[in-house]
Chains A and B, each alone.
Chain A
Amino acid sequence: AQRVTQPEKLLSVFKGAPVELKCNYSYSGSPELFWYVQYSRQRLQLLLRHISRESIKGFTADLNKGETSFHLKKPFAQEEDSAMYYCALINTNAGKSTFGDGTTLTVKP
């Protein structure tokens, strides 16, 4: 069975501070992990995918297979980063996906 855990429901930081949103997963095969973001009154949108090893809007995420984690990080948070963030494990070949329950990030001025 595949499972995604986001241990923090709420996370609050000040502008300019580093931020880390935690994601842990349980999966027996090679995971395909993603971060999705939902800004206020907008639809869910893809932020990052582990396979690309990219940096989007200053965010990065590294897959740690040993710790089964895929934490999302940004060195200097901005107020516009305030949003709901979801970690997702998507088995593209099988067609099944599992989302965490999300972390609400608030960046205070």
Chain B
Amino acid sequence: DAGVTQSPTHLIKTRGQQVTLRCSPKSGHDTVSWYQQALGQGPQFIFQYYEEEERQRGNFPDRFSGHQFPNYSSELNVNALLLGDSALYLCASSSPVTYGYTFGSGTRLTVV
């Protein structure tokens, strides 16, 4: 079991561009949560997807959107990138029968 896999590992984008990050959950998990982790801070909750619907959302603007596919994999899209969006983006998966989340290694996004 590869656990949670995220792609790409690193990404450099220009301010104003759009970006899509991808996440494949751990086998047997059907719920995906996305986090933004800035340097020196803990992961900040962006949103969670379950049954292809956004179930819960943190304090992030509408520029941040997502999608979950029937195979439970998920995408995080960020439009109109700002310099402040530079961070490590983490994906975590879970299921209704598990307590706690399994995390991926993250995607390092740099906006220049």
Tier of interface size on chain B: 20 to 34
- Taking the closest CB of chain A, its distance from the CB of B71, in whole angstroms, is 20
Q: Are A94 and B99 in contact (CB under 8 A)?
A: no
CA distance A98 to B43 in the complex (A): 8
| A residues adjacent to B (C-beta < 8 A) | 4, 6, 32, 34, 36, 43-46, 49, 51-52, 86, 90, 92, 94-102
- Taking the closest CB of chain B, its distance from the CB of A53, in whole angstroms, is 12
Given contacts A43-B106, A86-B43, contact A96 B56 (CB under 8 A): yes
CA distance A36 to B102 in the complex (A): 10
Q: Which residues of chain B come closer than 8 Å to A32, judged between CB atoms?
A: 99
Given contacts A43-B105, A101-B41, contact A96 B100 (CB under 8 A): no
Q: Which residues of chain A come closer than 8 Å to B78, judged between CB atoms?
A: none
Q: Which residues of chain B come closer than 8 Å to A36, judged between CB atoms?
A: 103
Q: Which residue of B lies closest to A92 (CB)?
A: B99
Q: Are A90 and B100 in contact (CB under 8 A)?
A: yes
Q: Which residues of chain A come closer than 8 Å to B101, judged between CB atoms?
A: 46, 90, 97
CA distance A34 to B100 in the complex (A): 7
